[in-house]
Amino acid sequence: MKKKLTRLLLLGLLNLCLLFPKSGYAQDDLVSLNFYQTDTHIILQALADFKQLNLVIVDPVQNVQTINLKKIPWSTALDIVLKLARLEAEIRNNVLYIQAEPDKQTLQQQEDKLKLEWLYQQPLLFLPIALNHSDPQQMMTMIQQQGLLSERGKVFIDSRSGMLMVQDIKEQFATIESLIETFDQPASQIHIAAHIVTMSSESLTQLGVRWGYTGHSSQLVNQATIGMPVTNPTTSVGFTLAKLTGGLLNLELSALEAENQVQIVASPNLLTSNQHPASIKQGTEIPYEVSSGNNSNTTIEFKQAVLGLEVTPRVLSNGRLELNLQISQNTVGQSIKRSDGGEALAIDTQEIKTQVIVSHGETLVLGGIFQQLNKLDNSQVPGLSQVPLIGNLFKYQGKQQQRRELVIFITPQIIQSLK
């Protein structure tokens, strides 16, 4: 076996010697290697001898290699051998030093150490940032979470001016300023026009035929009904959503109001920012007594009996908006007898949460809240109505029943903010 290895070594050296004369080797000398299952240190010795270099192997080398290289630069051949054995080399004073290649973790630790040493040699500077549209607290959190500060850096809010103050080395400022420029933009404003109206079923049908509120209209884009039973028999709630197109809603409602077919309860106009809620409430507050402890002292508190609508818009692409709707209808319920002989009013509560997507300027209709109005009409002729026996001839008592629906029209419009 030893004789075989000796022959292979001599063959490799012979290949080296046949290529070039023994005097003067240039840096780009070509070399051929042909070794089979040969110890790496033997191959390195052959390469060192070829360049007439002394060889020093710092760390032990135990692996073997099989190499067959033909006419490649000496430096390339050395790199191949080193890479296969995970070694690194350095030439100083005609000596070829060989040592084990450090592992990646060690290299990373060395690199981190150098960076840290460099970091602590740099001066700390202040960068004041005035925000025009963004919340300073949110922007400060974003800078911290994105890792834009060095180990020595910090960011805080100046309570007097409301400015962000960044303390760090100069090299970190460009990335932070780029982030501020990207996100400190004016948010889109959304104008929400709402109409809260009550109308009879006949008037609603008339308006629905024109506006596509009924299922027979081609303008009806989407409709969803959610029935919600209540305890008050004079009110039934089944929220209905529909989208309407067209721009004459105000004129239609005004015309119906002029004909006493529609009663406009409220027409609020709200302006809110993107992803910020806007709320509308219409109703009254009911007072009720609250006893305090075992004594007879009572206080007056109030419960809201209102129709509430909260809209949170979010601007999407192509002029569309996503509306998160929360609708609540609180009505006065039945009277409840208290233990002290008094009465308290119950509040019937219905609530729905939904999410719809509408286009800019498109009208969203919310309906399905019905009320049964019972009206007593008493009229009489003064004097004659009080005459016994014939007085009833001069009296009139009538009862009118009317079923009306509360309908809410919501029209959101995007108002682009100027930068």
pLDDT per residue over 138-153, tens digit each? Answer: 999 999 999 999 989 9
Tokens 């960044």 sit at which residue?
Answer: 166
pLDDT of res. 220:
32
Backbone phi, psi, residue 27, to 5°: -65, -30
pLDDT per residue over 212-231, tens digit each? Answer: 433 333 333 333 333 223 33
CA distance 25 to 46: 15
Q: How many other β-carbons are positioned within 10 Å of the β-carbon of residue 350? A: 19
Q: What is the DSSP letter of 132?
A: S
Q: How many other β-carbons are positioned within 10 Å of the β-carbon of residue 118? A: 10
Mean pLDDT, range 157-175, rounded to an integer:
92
pLDDT of res. 302:
79
Q: Considering only residues 126 and 370, tell me which one the structure prediction assigns the higher pLDDT.
A: 126
pLDDT per residue over 228-275, tens digit each? Answer: 233 333 333 445 556 665 556 777 777 777 777 788 878 888 889 888
pLDDT of res. 215:
34
**Stretch(es) of the chain classified as CATH 3.55.50.30:** 30-101
pLDDT of res. 127:
94
Q: Considering only residues 295 and 100, tell me which one the structure prediction assigns the higher pLDDT.
A: 100
CA dihedral 354, 355, 361, 366 (to 10 degrees): -10
224-241 burial by CB neighbour count: b if 16+ within 10 A, else e?
eeeebeeeeeebbbebbb
* Pairing state between β 95-100 and 54-57: parallel
pLDDT of res. 312:
92
CA distance 254 to 258: 6
CA dihedral 169, 173, 175, 181 (to 10 degrees): 160
pLDDT of res. 166:
95
pLDDT of res. 140:
94
CA distance 419 to 413: 19
Residues constituting the chain: 419
pLDDT per residue over 181-217, tens digit each? Answer: 999 988 888 999 888 888 776 666 665 534 343 333 3
Check: CB of residue 104 under 8 Å from CB of residue 91.
Answer: no
Mean pLDDT, range 162-181, rounded to an integer:
93
pLDDT of res. 63:
84
- pTM score: 0.52
Q: Give the containing element (helix H, strand E) for 236.
A: strand 235-244
Q: Give the containing element (helix H, strand E) for 71.
A: strand 64-73
pLDDT of res. 180:
93
Q: What is the DSSP letter of 184?
A: -
pLDDT band at 286 (very low <50, low <70, confident <90, very high): confident
Mean pLDDT for all residues in the chain: 76
pLDDT of res. 21:
37
CA distance 159 to 164: 9
pLDDT per residue over 290-343, tens digit each? Answer: 666 555 667 777 778 888 888 999 998 888 899 998 888 787 777 777 666 666
**Stretch(es) of the chain classified as CATH 3.30.1370.120:** 108-183
pLDDT band at 410 (very low <50, low <70, confident <90, very high): confident
- In the predicted model, is pLDDT for residue 173 greater than 50? yes
| Alpha helix stretches (DSSP H) within 147-277 | 173-183, 201-211, 249-258
CA distance 293 to 173: 63
From the options 3.40.50.1460, 3.30.950.10, 3.55.50.30, 1.10.150.530, give the CATH code of 30-101.
3.55.50.30
pLDDT per residue over 31-80, tens digit each? Answer: 998 999 999 889 999 999 999 999 998 878 878 899 899 999 999 999 99
Tokens 């979010």 sit at which residue?
Answer: 314
pLDDT per residue over 84-98, tens digit each? Answer: 888 889 899 999 999
pLDDT of res. 328:
81
- In the predicted model, is pLDDT for residue 388 greater than 70? yes
From the options 3.90.79.10, 3.90.1150.200, 2.60.40.1190, 3.30.1370.120, give the CATH code of 108-183.
3.30.1370.120
